[in-house]
């Protein structure tokens, strides 16, 4: 049976892995190549790099990071952050990325997703959907941009379905109302999107312990779970996360 | 020894190149090429492929490489990966495309509305790490456990007419053939270059293989 995937996420700023500490700012967490190799050795099923570099003259640094990682790590690599046009995707794929995540640009220009999927294949295109609840009983969710500050009025479930129709091979779903809280995924949101789309869904945002990963799969019906801080801070290894999932009866690659 | 990786313009082959280089010894030259002459003069050939099969077939012909592939499959140790494996068959349902016809059989799409034994819905593409059950012994399985997981990403899979061609199967949810081979040809639906240690071991076995089974 197909294994559920565990995907560590690395935030990369100007070629270095960074992590936010209690929303107080970014701290250098090390060399992305070393960290990628460590997660690979621990049995990560894929790696995701989120490029958060703000200054445009440092944006190409991510390409060098991906090239170096792809030389040494033989598992799938996804890169997202700042992807605006087809040429951005081409450059990331040429650097060694297997998949490229499109986020805000999919909202401003949905045809980019269609064009990219036709050009590079659906398997290479991940659409990132950042959503949070817009009603009190957590049953309606909208897409938010700008780190969760700006509402778009777009229904998250309908949007995910549309993006899969446009050619997204996978949906990376982030619970924006949970991101950074360590309170676990928004499971109702995850379940609603996973049930609605025909392509795999990666759950993201809010993981604080290993039970949250289990819940994302068993209750949220996610095909993969993504986490950053629980791995970066050394609280858990990827291996421990997989063992916890296996104990809960989930198929994993160990 | 010269190992040619056939480059017909369908996506980035950096990982494929690196994954072969990392398991090769100093006397082995591994290179990407779109030159049919260099392909037929190599000692071993790796034939990758990603994206849609109609595009792959068109680009293969546009680069004048279809003949070179046919010629090398007749004589040299030959390793097809993903769409590079699908192209060896007669026909694909993806865009109603004629393949190279080296193996009798078709490439089919996974069905819609798939469910596993527990009633859980299965998504397409079939994406992730799945078990590979060896159905026939083969030198390329050396050091690889029966049921080992490899990385798959595909919506279409090959179905050989002759079950003797099938060397391994996976399940999604039905059993499907995921490695085919005959004599000097070996071809996988999964991506060895993305399958961590098991993928590298299989490629290492290929480099040591004389093409006999």
The beta-carbon neighbor of B51 closest among A5, A121, A200 is A121
- Vertex B185 angle, CA B50 and B174, to 5°: 60
The beta-carbon neighbor of A2 closest among B11, B130, B155 is B130
Higher model confidence: residue A205 or residue A53?
A205
User: Which residues of A are less than 8 Å from B15 in CB distance?
Assistant: 70, 74, 96, 98
pLDDT tops 50 at residue A231: yes
pLDDT tops 60 at residue A75: yes
Q: What is the mean pLDDT of each run of 10 residues along chain B (213 residues)?
A: 94 90 96 97 95 90 96 96 97 96 97 89 94 98 98 96 97 97 98 97 98 93
Q: How confident is the model at residue A22 (pLDDT cuts 50, 70, 90)?
A: very low
User: Which residues of B are less than 8 Å from A45 in CB distance?
Assistant: 128-129
Residues 105-134 of B with CB under 8 A from A: 112, 116, 120-131
Query: pLDDT at position A21, please?
Result: 53
The distance of Cα A38 from the centroid of its chain, to the nearest Å, equals: 19
- For chain B, report the end-to-end CA distance as a whole number of angstroms: 20
Residue A103 · residue A152 · CB < 8 Å: no
For B87, other C-beta atoms within 10 Å of its C-beta total: 27
Residue B99 · residue B57 · CB < 8 Å: yes
Show the domains of chain B with their CATH numbers: 2-208 (3.40.50.880)
ipTM: 0.93
Percent of chain A residues past pLDDT 70, beyond the cut: 97
Tens digits of residue pLDDT in A133-173: 999 999 999 999 887 888 999 999 999 999 999 999 999 99
Residue contact A1–B15, C-beta within 8 A: no
User: In angstroms, rounded to a whole number, what is the distance separating the alpha carbons of residues A249 and B123?
Assistant: 20
Tens digits of residue pLDDT in A30-43: 899 999 999 999 99
Mutation pick from B125, B176, B204 vs chain A, by most beta carbons of A within 10 Å, is B125
Indicate left, alpha or beta for A234 from its phi (over 0: left) and psi (-120 to 50: alpha).
Answer: left
Return the active site residues of B: 82, 191, 193
Query: pLDDT at position A26, please?
Result: 67
- Catalytic entry in A45, A51, A88, A130: A130
Residue contact B125–A67, C-beta within 8 A: no
The beta-carbon neighbor of A120 closest among B51, B154, B196 is B51
Query: pLDDT at position A119, please?
Result: 87
User: Which residues of A are less than 8 Å from B112 in CB distance?
Assistant: 198
Residue contact B14–A221, C-beta within 8 A: no
* Mean pLDDT for all residues in chain A: 92
Q: Check CB contact of B32 with chain A, cutoff 8 Å.
A: no
Query: pLDDT at position A23, please?
Result: 46
- As given in the structure block, the two tokens for residue B64 are 């004048």
User: Which residues of A are less than 8 Å from B20 in CB distance?
Assistant: none
Q: Check CB contact of A249 with chain B, cutoff 8 Å.
A: no
Residue contact B149–A3, C-beta within 8 A: yes
Query: pLDDT at position B117, please?
Result: 87
User: Which residues of B are less than 8 Å from A75 in CB distance?
Assistant: 151, 194-196
The beta-carbon neighbor of B116 closest among A1, A93, A195 is A1
Residue contact B14–A96, C-beta within 8 A: yes
Mutation pick from B128, B155, B170, B191 vs chain A, by most beta carbons of A within 10 Å, is B128
Q: Check CB contact of A200 with chain B, cutoff 8 Å.
A: yes
Q: Name the nearest CA neighbour of A49 among A18, A92, A78.
A: A78
Tell which CATH architecture fits domain A5-247: Alpha-Beta Barrel (3.20)
Distance from CA of A73 to the nearest CA of B (A): 8
Q: How many residues does chain B have?
A: 213
Residue contact A122–B149, C-beta within 8 A: no
Residue contact B130–A76, C-beta within 8 A: no
Distance from CA of B111 to the nearest CA of A (A): 12
User: In angstroms, rounded to a whole number, what is the distance separating the alpha carbons of residues B213 and B205?
Assistant: 13
User: In angstroms, rounded to a whole number, what is the distance separating the alpha carbons of residues A7 and A227?
Assistant: 7
Residue contact B120–A67, C-beta within 8 A: no
Instruction: Write out the DSSP string of chain B.
Output: -EEEEE--SSS--HHHHHHHHTTS-TT-EEEEE--HHHHHHSSEEEE---S-HHHHHHHHHHTT-HHHHHHHHTTS-EEEETHHHHTTEEEETTTTEE---SEEEEEEEPPSSEE-TTS-EE-SSEEEEEEEEESS--GGGTT--TTEEEEEEESEEEEESSGGGEEEEEESSSEEEEEEEETTEEEESS-GGGSHHHHHHHHHHHHH--S--
Q: Check CB contact of B161 with chain A, cutoff 8 Å.
A: no
Can you give chain A as a three-state secondary structure string?
CCCCEEEEEEEEECCEEEEECCCCCEEEEECHHHHHHHHHHHCCCCEEEEECCCCHHHCCHHHHHHHHHHHHCCCCEEEECCCCCHHHHHHHHHHCCCEEEECHHHHHCCHHHHHHHHHHCHHHEEEEEEEEECCCCCCCEEEEECCCCEEEEEEHHHHHHHHHHHCCCEEEEEECCCCCCCCCCCHHHHHHHHHHCCCCEEEECCCCCHHHHHHHHHCCCCCEEEECHHHHCCCCCHHHHHHHHHHCCCCCCC
Residue B26 · residue A108 · CB < 8 Å: no
User: In angstroms, rounded to a whole number, what is the distance separating the alpha carbons of residues A196 and B121?
Assistant: 11
């Amino acid at each position: 049976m197909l294994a559920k995937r565990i995907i560590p996420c690395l935030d990369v700023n100007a070629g270095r892995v960074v992590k936010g500490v209690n929303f107080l700012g970014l701290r250098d967490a090390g060399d992305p190549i070393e960290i990628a190799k460590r997660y690979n050795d621990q049995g990560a099923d894929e790696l995701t790099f989120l490029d958060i570099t703000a200054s445009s003259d440092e944006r190409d640094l991510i390409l060098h990071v991906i090239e170096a990682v792809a030389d040494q790590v033989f598992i799938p690599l996804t890169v997202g952050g700042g992807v605006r046009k087809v040429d951005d995707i081409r450059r990331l794929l040429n650097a060694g990325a297997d998949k490229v995540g499109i986020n805000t640009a999919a909202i401003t220009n949905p045809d980019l997703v269609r064009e990219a999927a036709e050009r590079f294949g659906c398997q290479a295109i991940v659409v990132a959907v950042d959503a949070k609840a817009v009603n009190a009983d957590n049953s309606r969710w909208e897409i938010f941009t700008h780190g969760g500050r700006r509402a778009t009025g777009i229904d998250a479930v309908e949007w995910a379905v549309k993006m899969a129709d446009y050619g997204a091979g996978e949906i990376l779903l982030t619970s924006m109302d949970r991101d950074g809280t360590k309170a676990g995924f928004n499971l109702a949101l995850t379940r609603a999107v996973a049930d609605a789309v025909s392509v795999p869904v990666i759950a993201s945002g809010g993981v604080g312990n290993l039970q949250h990963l289990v819940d994302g799969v068993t209750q949220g019906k996610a095909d993969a779970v993504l986490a950053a801080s629980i791995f970066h801070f050394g609280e858990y290894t990827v291996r421990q996360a997989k063992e916890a999932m296996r104990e809960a009866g989930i198929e994993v690659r160990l | 020894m010269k190992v040619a990786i056939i480059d017909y313009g369908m996506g980035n082959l950096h990982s494929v190149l690196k994954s072969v280089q990392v398991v090769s010894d100093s006397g082995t030259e591994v290179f990407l090429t779109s030159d049919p002459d260099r392909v037929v003069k190599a000692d071993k050939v790796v034939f990758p492929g990603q994206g849609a099969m109609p595009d792959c077939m068109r680009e293969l012909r546009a680069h004048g490489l279809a003949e070179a592939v046919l010629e090398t499959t007749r004589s040299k140790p030959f390793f097809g990966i993903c769409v590079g494996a699908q192209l060896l068959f007669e026909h694909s349902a993806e865009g109603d495309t004629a393949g190279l016809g080296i193996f009798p059989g078709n490439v089919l799409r996974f069905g819609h509305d798939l469910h596993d034994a527990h009633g859980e819905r299965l998504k397409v593409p079939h994406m992730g790490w799945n078990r590979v059950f060896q159905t026939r012994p083969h030198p390329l399985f050396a050091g690889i456990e029966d049921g080992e997981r490899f990385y798959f990403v595909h919506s279409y899979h090959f179905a050989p007419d002759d079950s003797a061609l099938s060397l391994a199967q996976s399940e999604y949810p039905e059993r499907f053939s995921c490695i085919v081979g005959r004599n000097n040809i070996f071809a996988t639906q999964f991506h060895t270059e993305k399958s961590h240690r098991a993928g590298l071991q299989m490629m290492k076995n290929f480099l040591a293989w004389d093409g006999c089974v």
